[in-house]
Amino acid sequence: MKKISIIVPCFNEKENLPYLNQKLQEVFSNQPKEKYSFRIVFVNDGSADDTLLEIKELRKQFSNIDYLSFSRNFGHQQAIKAGIDCVNADAIITMDADLQHPPKLIPELIKNWEKGYEIVNSKRFDSKNQSFMKKLTSKSFYALLNKLSYVKIEPGTADFRLLDKKVIEQLRNLNEQNLFFRGVIPWLGFSQHTIDYYPDERKYGKTKYTAKKMISLAITGITSFSIKPLRISIFVGLFLSVVAIFYMLYALYIGFFTDKAIEGWTSVIVSVLFIGGLQLLMLGILGEYIGKIFIENKKRPNYIIDQIDISNENQ
């Protein structure tokens, strides 16, 4: 009998949970009972609504539901990590609570796992359901990330995937603060497979990824997989220095050999502003990396679990 756990990070997803649970239970009941035992692990990521109450309510009704609850909002990636850390299973499937990751794809993830793949990723086709902004930001993010990064990350991959026990063990050892699963998974290696799907529309509520969270995830994604931004600052710095030397020569010439030295005020202001802005940008890049070192050095836990209820079977 193989144990499969579905990990669902939830941040203010009260309305979605009963429906998701129903869909998942349907999927489970269509799988051979003698082969698999399924459990759902909800990770309440510091929701401000009654998500935790809803989870507890569902747990009363269904014996195959477990949960963790964070002391505050630690973020989607940490919620997935907590599930991976706390759950004992032969395979883990991570998926969103809002039904954008179709539960009906689960049998296909399992089928590929049975074929021998240790990681089965999913990749969404661009769908009409997605807003133009979401498509645009997602596209440009992956384009930039793949330009800058050493691991190749497929555009459209989401955190809907199956992980074998072997992979779970490796992931438990990764204790970096700013985890970015979409980068870590290709980095891990193992035999991987990707299946495509059309995302559904979010069932209830609005996206929990505000523009701020999205930018912060993008910065994490880039700075934890690449030091190219640092290198870019060196090249830009070098280029500007060369330009500045030529301009200096020109300024000296004007000063010594002509009498129109006061001219050129505009170009002075322009270049001062430009170089000033650029220096701030480069400092920002440096600061981002130094900040990362600072945070990692404190070795704080990635998340704090306030409540946990996981059945013996799953431990």
Q: Which positions lie near ligand UDP, rule CB under 6 A?
A: 9-11, 13, 45, 73, 75-76, 79, 96-98, 100, 207-209
73 contacts which partner out of Mg ion, ligand UDP, none, CB within 5 to 8 A by kind?
ligand UDP
Helices (H), 225-299: 228-257, 265-298
Interacting residue with Mg ion among 5, 51, 100, 112 (CB under 5 A): 100
**CA dist., res. 151 & res. 227, Å (int):** 12
Q: Which stretch binds Mg ion (CB under 5 A): 78-86, 98-106, 165-173, 175-183?
A: 98-106
Under the binding rule (CB under 5 A), the answer on residue 138 touching Mg ion is no
Q: At closest approach, how far in Å is the CB of 210 from ligand UDP?
A: 9
**Residue 110 beta carbon to Mg ion: minimum distance, rounded to whole angstroms:** 22
Here's the x/- map for Mg ion, 78-97, by CB under 5 A: it reads as: ------------------x-
Closer CB to Mg ion, 96 or 164, in the complex: 96
Alpha-carbon distance of 216 to 62, in angstroms, equals 37
User: What gap in Å lies between CA 111 and CA 221, rounded to an integer?
Assistant: 30
Nearer to ligand UDP, 42 or 117 (CB): 42
Instruction: Give 74-108 as a DSSP string.
Output: --HHHHHHHHHHH---SEEEE--TTS-S-GGGHHH
CB of 153 to ligand UDP, least distance (A): 15
Shorter beta-carbon distance to ligand UDP: residue 94 or 226: 94
Query: In DSSP terms, which residues pair with 126 in a beta bridge?
Result: none
- Say how many C-beta atoms besides its own lie within 10 A of residue 312's C-beta: 6
Residue 12 found at the interface with Mg ion (CB under 5 A)? no
- R_g over Cα of the chain: 25
> Nearer to ligand UDP by C-beta: 184 or 282?
184
What, of ligand UDP, Mg ion, none, does residue 229 touch, CB below 5 to 8 Å by kind? Answer: none
**80 Cβ contact partners less than 8 Å away, ≥ 6 residues apart:** 7, 9, 43, 94, 159, 179, 181
